[in-house]
Amino acid sequence: MAAVAMEVDDAPPLERKEARYTRKDEDFERRVQRYKGQQYSHLYYCRLHKLRGALSSLVQSGFPGVPVCPILGLEDGKRCVVIGTIYKQMKLKPSILDEYAKERSKLPLATASNFMHPDDYLVLEDESGRVKLVGSVVVPSNYVTGIVIAACGAAGKDGDFFVQEIIEPGLPPQPPLPSITEDKYVAFISGLRIGSDHCDPLQLQLLVDHLTGHLGDEQEQMLSAQVIRLIVAGNSLDMQYNLLAGQAISAKDQARLTEPVKELDLVLTQIAAAMPVDIMPGANDPANFTLPQQSLHKCLFPGASAYCTFLPATNPHRFELDGIEFLGTSGQNVDDLDKYSEAKDVLELMERTLRWRHIAPTAPDTLGCYPYTDKDPFVLDRCPHVYFCGNQRSCMSRLLTVEGKSVRAISIPRFCDSGTAVLVNLRTLDYHLLTLSTSALLDA
């Protein structure tokens, strides 16, 4: 048989860049824990203990000579420092007891999305007791229940503590930023919401094709080859939970339930075949409700699980790429903060969580959380280099430089609404937006 002459591309194949990946989710995985009926007091105790250690050294250096008193040991007029957990008394906070109240008070004009009220006040609590914080320095709208702070001031005659200064734990120690010589990008997407009406399958397929290098000419492919990893930050599915009403599900409804999962599996298989992908669960995904959410089970993704590049991750997710530390959530922590406090934008809330050294301070008060007895996994020991938060309205980013530590804080927009993915350059910690649109197609 004569040899068939084939046209072979002389150019060498483009290789995707690689980076050393280390997963650091051990704190968030619940392998050994068994619920024995314990309450949340242990979680608060562990949180207070850990952050009190960080605060003590700050207090000693910032206020030398001022004693740290337990709250029950406060003396009138004596200047001292108290360390404890904040409880914010909120008038409009929904309480299960309201359903049993004989008199329903009129609801003020506050929207259901934010429960703040001018009459909110802060109470500081430690093991011995609690005391109300007063003073012009105390602005309740900037704080939430569950953070640990130190307050310097003096107790007044009426039992309140007049605060002169509030000390927050501040950013935790940060490992040095390694220097990387070439441009490598990490792609973030969130809020795919496959199965909902918002999701545009063509837009998603465009993204997949772009990331896997099936789109565009050589220059485009070179850009795609620089993307080393994709992180899917929650809410990838929009399951029709109303079908799970407790009755037997008909075959047609069963198909409707499983369709979105199969579609997501197809998408993830295509991506996993080309590059490493981490998928985090979100508020609407088939994972547990309480934080830390455990990784989506691999039986949901029979196609993608065959690849070693596919990694179901927990929410929050912590990992390291070439020495750069990443930490992020699918957005539940920040959304809950938004309901109970006021901030200019999402990035300010994220900055506050870093300053409080706790990524989800409202857990377990208003944010579902597992009742740990031996630790609080949301307390930050190390400051990440990149701090992300999924399922937000728009992409915003800021390089926070505080006390010599720099953190790239990014909010990832919902893909179903914006069609935007975010790329972060590991070399410079810059971010770029990748927007895919099918509107031109529809107009034509």
Please report, as ranges, the residues that interact with other proteins according to CB under 8 A. 36-39, 41-42, 45-46, 49-50, 127-128, 371, 373-374
Nearer to other proteins, 41 or 437 (CB): 41
In the complex, minimum distance from the CB of residue 147 to other proteins, in angstroms, rounded to a whole number: 19
Nearer to other proteins, 129 or 178 (CB): 129
In the complex, minimum distance from the CB of residue 85 to other proteins, in angstroms, rounded to a whole number: 13
DSSP letter for each residue of 363-378: TTTTS-B---SS--TT
Structure-derived torsion over alpha carbons of residues 78, 83, 89, 93, reported in degrees to the nearest 10: 170
Nearer to other proteins, 31 or 106 (CB): 31
**Beta-strand relationship, 324-329 and 317-321:** antiparallel
Q: Are 149 and 168 in contact (CB under 8 A)?
A: yes
Q: Which stretches within 298-367 are classed as H helix?
A: 332-340, 346-355
In the complex, minimum distance from the CB of residue 49 to other proteins, in angstroms, rounded to a whole number: 6
Q: How many CB atoms lie within 10 A of CB 328?
A: 30
Nearer to other proteins, 22 or 41 (CB): 41
Kindly calculate the radius of gyration of the chain based on its CA atoms and give it in whole angstroms.
Answer: 25
Buried b (16+ CB within 10 A) or exposed e, 155-167: bbeeebbbbeebb
Q: Order the strands of the 185-189 sheet from edge to edge.
A: 310-312, 277-280, 227-233, 185-189, 420-425, 431-435
In the complex, minimum distance from the CB of residue 143 to other proteins, in angstroms, rounded to a whole number: 24
In the complex, minimum distance from the CB of residue 89 to other proteins, in angstroms, rounded to a whole number: 22
Nearer to other proteins, 49 or 339 (CB): 49
In the complex, minimum distance from the CB of residue 48 to other proteins, in angstroms, rounded to a whole number: 9
Which residues of 172-294 form beta strands (DSSP E)? 185-189, 227-233, 277-280
d(CA 228, CA 107): 51
Helix (H/G/I), strand (E/B), else coil: 141: helix
In the complex, minimum distance from the CB of residue 50 to other proteins, in angstroms, rounded to a whole number: 8
Nearer to other proteins, 281 or 377 (CB): 377
